[in-house]
């Protein structure tokens, strides 16, 4: 990932930033943008719903004692799993892994020590590089994720001899929103932010053909190399890579881009 090399003392000078995160996850970034002189346009392009098969998920949570390792692939996976657990707790002898810093922080806020977390990076590849996941033959691993998540993590662990199950504790849904509410404010937007491929796809779908052309012409901040490739495949012409999906990294990328505009 590139380093913008810019401190958080930057002045966004009225820059209009489109924030597309789910509503319950957007407040931190919006607050930082405003604190640094930016203007925020909110348009949540993804909604988080409950599991598609609640009964199956409930049975998996009842059987947590059968697993040696639980891996969480996003903050949403943490929040959704803990909501489904209710007053219950993860077993004390369960090794807990997080895909990156934001996910680990979500677990820590809930009172859990995280045993496995990458020193750098925040994707399946980074998690798979952790020492604790090199020798997993015979271990039962439960991966907490949303519907249709990447298969890489589970497949790689299976190749290493682990027995892997998935607990799909939430769904990523495309909101039913009127694009006019965003298109009518388009002249207020100078830069777009997105934290997942689903958000990019949903934006293109929601805005339709006319809005898509406007969207693709905008500078876009993304949070991973995989997202950058996806954005370029969609037709975005200027893609800025943040160092992570956390609020500080997003702000740093925006400040860095603005500084380079002269």
Break the chain into its structural domains and give their ranges. Answer: 16-46+175-260, 49-173
CATH class of 49-173: alpha beta
CATH class of 16-46+175-260: alpha beta
Topology match between the domains 16-46+175-260 and 49-173: yes
Lowest mean pLDDT among 90-94, 135-139, 149-153: 149-153
Q: For residue 7, what pLDDT is reported?
A: 46
Q: For residue 9, what pLDDT is reported?
A: 76
Q: What is the pLDDT of residues 60-109, one digit of tens each?
A: 999 999 999 999 999 999 999 999 999 999 999 999 999 988 899 999 99
Q: What is the pLDDT of residues 181-199, one digit of tens each?
A: 999 999 999 999 999 999 9
Q: For residue 8, what pLDDT is reported?
A: 56
Shortest CA distance to 91 belongs to which of 118, 114, 67? 67
Q: For residue 88, what pLDDT is reported?
A: 94
């Amino acid at each position: 990932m590139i380093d913008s090399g810019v401190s958080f003392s930057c002045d966004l000078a009225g820059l209009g930033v489109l924030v597309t995160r789910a509503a319950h996850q957007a407040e931190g970034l919006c607050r930082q943008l405003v604190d640094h002189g930016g203007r925020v346009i909110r348009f949540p392009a993804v909604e988080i719903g409950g599991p598609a098969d609640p009964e199956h998920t409930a049975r998996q949570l009842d059987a947590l004692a059968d697993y040696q390792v639980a891996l969480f692939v996003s903050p949403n996976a943490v929040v959704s799993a803990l909501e489904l657990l209710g007053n219950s707790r993860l077993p004390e002898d369960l090794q807990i892994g997080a895909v990156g810093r934001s996910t680990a922080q979500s677990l820590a806020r809930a009172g859990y020590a995280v045993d496995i977390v990458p020193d750098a990076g925040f994707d399946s590849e980074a998690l798979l590089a952790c020492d604790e996941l090199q020798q997993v033959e015979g271990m039962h691993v439960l991966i907490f994720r949303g519907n249709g998540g990447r298969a890489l993590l589970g497949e790689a662990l299976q190749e290493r001899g682990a027995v892997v199950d998935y607990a799909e504790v939430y769904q990523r849904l495309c909101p039913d929103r009127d694009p006019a509410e965003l298109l009518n404010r388009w002249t207020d937007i100078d830069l777009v932010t997105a934290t997942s491929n689903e958000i990019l796809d949903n934006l293109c779908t929601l805005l339709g053909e006319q809005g898509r052309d406007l969207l693709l012409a905008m500078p876009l901040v993304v949070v991973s190399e995989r997202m950058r490739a996806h954005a370029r495949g969609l037709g975005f012409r200027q893609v800025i890579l943040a160092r992570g999906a956390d609020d500080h990294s997003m702000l740093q990328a925006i400040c860095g881009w603005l500084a380079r505009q002269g």
